[in-house]
């Protein structure tokens, strides 16, 4: 499995054990209040934003098949490897996050979102 370089200025967050991931069942995690879905494609782990842009539904609770995740509510479909929206109802592409696996632990990088005062 290749390890993305990520952004050296961002922290890696440990989110799961590699053993928790199954190619048929995504895993939802929360990192600093941001919901991410972890998806296993072959030997590659992918991290995408977990909330469907169409309506609030967790994609990690959707149906995963052939590299695509389908929203459990309205059938919006997204390519897991790229986050690309494959059905118009999805409204936009999903944000993808760098992932690495070290010593059996899955780590992701997410940017910190500054909240204006």
- Average pLDDT, rounded, for the chain: 90
The CB density around residue 74, as the number of other CB atoms within 10 Å, is: 13
Structural domain boundaries of the chain? 12-109
pLDDT digits (tens, 9 = 90+) for 21-47: 999 999 999 998 899 999 999 999 999
Whole-angstrom Cα distance, residue 86 to residue 106? 27
pTM, 2 dp: 0.87
* Whole-number Å distance between alpha carbons of 48 and 3: 16
Which residue in this structure is represented by tokens 């052939």?
66
Structure-token pair, residue 81: 């490897």
Identify the DSSP state of 56: S
Reported confidence tier of residue 116, pLDDT bands at 50, 70, 90: low
**Superfamily grouping for domain 12-109:** Rieske [2Fe-2S] iron-sulphur domain (2.102.10.10)
Contacts of residue 117, Cβ cutoff 8 Å, sequence gap at least 6: none
């Amino acid at each position: 499995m290749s390890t993305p370089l990520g952004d050296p200025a961002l922290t890696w967050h440990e989110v799961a054990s590699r053993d928790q991931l199954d190619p048929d069942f995504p895993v939802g995690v929360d990192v600093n209040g941001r919901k991410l879905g972890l998806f296993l494609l072959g030997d590659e782990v992918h991290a995408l934003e977990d909330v469907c842009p169409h309506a609030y539904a967790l994609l990690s609770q959707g149906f995963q098949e052939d590299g695509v995740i389908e929203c459990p509510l309205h059938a919006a479909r997204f390519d897991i490897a790229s986050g690309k929206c494959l059905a118009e109802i999805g409204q936009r592409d999903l944000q993808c996050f760098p992932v690495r696996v070290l010593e059996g632990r899955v780590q992701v990088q997410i940017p910190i979102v500054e909240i204006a005062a």
